[in-house]
Chains A and B, each alone.
Chain A
């Protein structure tokens, strides 16, 4: 705050300062309420088994890692975590490898066929997963891809490609075409220009597409629910369901596993909001 020069500005500054304080208080209250559903997962996970967050008496129990120990020692949680990680990382890698050339084609190419392709991608993105997943299941059974991690990776890659290609296209469009043009004059091929100039300058775009597809695969419930049928293939969302029992759900264990599931996306997001500006349509499909 700069020092006011005369009375009028002084009053204005005071009013402005009060406005800022009011906004801070209102938003803080809103944030606290909005974060309750996430906060209780974390807090419940470190309470002694049997105890859950409740008005006031929570802290009396003290904190413990008993739920985590139980989940790690007595259940196959690590296997679920490993499966989810394999599927999500492979999806991210495949989406970039397949999506980047397609994004380049849409960024630099012209013609009716390419613009139709672009519209189809947009449309594809909007269709409900339910409509795909039933025929895919029937297709995957004879191919022995149902109930495999590979099958999941294929479905998730197809799911994240349309938006990934769109994101990559706009990333590539931001790189001046003159750079490739002059490289071509110096004897570089089209593919060479794509690799050495466009890809080499698109690290943030490639990373954000990787992140988006990682999250899509990590967070999915429906495809996993239909494709996975044995414990050894379960990813975290389906693994979590096995923790729910008809009569006595061990909520502490549920919450501890939920924390395992929550940490990678939140970490990724924190890194992202530190290094990237997530916004525009770019942020729209995260989660």
Chain B
């Protein structure tokens, strides 16, 4: 009984909520419309204060030469110009791109493979699945502390392992190339449970009679995966890619706690660079200009996703996994 309610709540309802049922237009009196808007007001107030004000202030500061304590003078677009002609910005943008692509592609492939395996079924799946979601649940500070010890101290388990294999000191975070690869792998480790969770839930909504019909027609596992599962996962896959791309562009703690952006800036993402400029070099305007670039990238992807999920803008019906 509670099952159906929670399914609807968590967005994984096997049968989508009937639109005509829920969206039946209330017989609206003016007072209802006003009351509903009053109900939304507290949230609007707090979001304006904590959301809109900072963004306006950020744009304002990005046009000035201030620091954290002085507001400086108006410099127009000089900060943006400085940033765009600065090679550190471009290397940060490059790392952010690599990091994001690795996170999206890597975690998607791992998550999809796992979800398909769980779909095929095996004994003990109910016990193992929640365990596999742990990397997503454990606080990032904890997991990065652990990864830092494993691969970053030179005496962790990973280093011992490479010594045992006769590879000697690999220095997982010591050289630029190694650090980029290691950080990407850690990010994939952190993110695959999200993909497993969402793709797994979407697979459960696929009508089982489709598979039965395919089996009757003599289709094996690969054929039904290719012709039923994957095509039906197209929309939800697109959604997970965009969400993961947004998460990755905005991800500060993974990189910061693992490498601090080093060595020699090799793993400095845009948000880490922005943080360093503001809080360590006190170039507030330039730092914020970079954060605004990251904002535009993430915001652009979010609007794209919103349009995709809500075709016809005011309609709110879900198209996930359909």
Contact = CB atoms under 8 A, between A and B. Distances in A.
Interface of A: 19-21, 23-24, 26-28, 30-31, 34-38, 40-41, 44, 52-55, 98-99, 101-102, 104-115, 117-139, 154-155, 157-159, 161-162, 165, 167, 170-171, 173-174, 176-177, 181, 190-191, 194, 201-202, 204-205, 208, 215, 218-219, 221-222, 226, 236-237, 240, 251, 254-255, 258, 261-262, 265-266, 269-270, 273, 275-284, 286-287
Is chain B's interface secondary structure helix, strand, loop, or mixed overall? helix
A147 to B, nearest CB: 15
B36 A280 contact: no
A55 B57 contact: no
Contact of B36 (A52, A99, A104, A277): A104
Contacts of B278: 134
Given A55-B160, A134-B288, A190-B36, 18 more contacts: A37-B143, A37-B146, A38-B143, A40-B146, A98-B46, A117-B44, A119-B313, A121-B47, A128-B291, A130-B294, A134-B284, A158-B50, A204-B5, A219-B141, A222-B252, A262-B139, A277-B6, A284-B194
A237 B141 contact: yes
A240 B275 CA distance: 20
Contact of A283 (B47, B57, B140, B197): B197
B225 interface: no
A155 B50 contact: yes
A1 to B, nearest CB: 11
B306 to A, nearest CB: 5
A53 B26 contact: no
Contacts of A114: 36-37, 40
Contact of A41 (B50, B145, B189, B292): B145
B84 interface: no
10 contacts: A31-B131, A41-B142, A41-B146, A124-B47, A131-B55, A173-B23, A174-B5, A174-B8, A201-B5, A279-B204
B25 interface: yes
A38 B146 contact: yes
B60 to A, nearest CB: 9
Best-buried of A108, A204, A279, A286 by chain B (most CB within 10 Å): A279
Contacts of A54: 157, 160
A261 B142 contact: yes
B47 A161 contact: yes
Given A115-B313, A201-B5, A237-B141, A281 B11 contact: yes
A109 B314 CA distance: 12
A253 to B, nearest CB: 12
A244 to B, nearest CB: 9
Contacts of A283: 10, 194, 197-198, 201
Contacts of A20: 120-123
Interface residues of B, number: 118
B82 interface: no
A179 to B, nearest CB: 11
B147 interface: yes
B222 interface: no
B40 A106 contact: yes
Interface string B1-44: 01101111111110001000111111110011101110110111
A34 B8 contact: no
Given A37-B147, A115-B313, A273-B130, A24 B122 contact: yes
Contacts of A128: 249-250, 252, 271, 291, 294-295, 298
A279 B10 contact: yes
B120 A122 contact: no
A126 B114 contact: no
B138 A98 contact: no
Contacts of A254: 145, 149
Contacts of B139: 218-219, 236-237, 261-262, 265, 287
Contacts of A279: 10-12, 197-198, 200-202, 204
A99 B55 CA distance: 22
B264 interface: no
Contacts of B146: 37-38, 40-41, 255, 258
A165 B43 contact: yes
Contact of A118 (B12, B142, B316): B316
Interface string B105-129: 0000000001001101111110010
Contacts of A261: 139, 141-142
A101 B39 CA distance: 5
Contacts of B39: 101-102, 104-105, 191, 194
B131 A35 contact: yes
A52 to B, nearest CB: 8
B202 to A, nearest CB: 8
Contacts of B291: 128, 130-131, 134
B167 interface: no
A21 to B, nearest CB: 7
A185 B138 CA distance: 49
Interface in B150-197: 150, 155, 157, 160-161, 164, 189, 192, 194, 197
B130 to A, nearest CB: 5
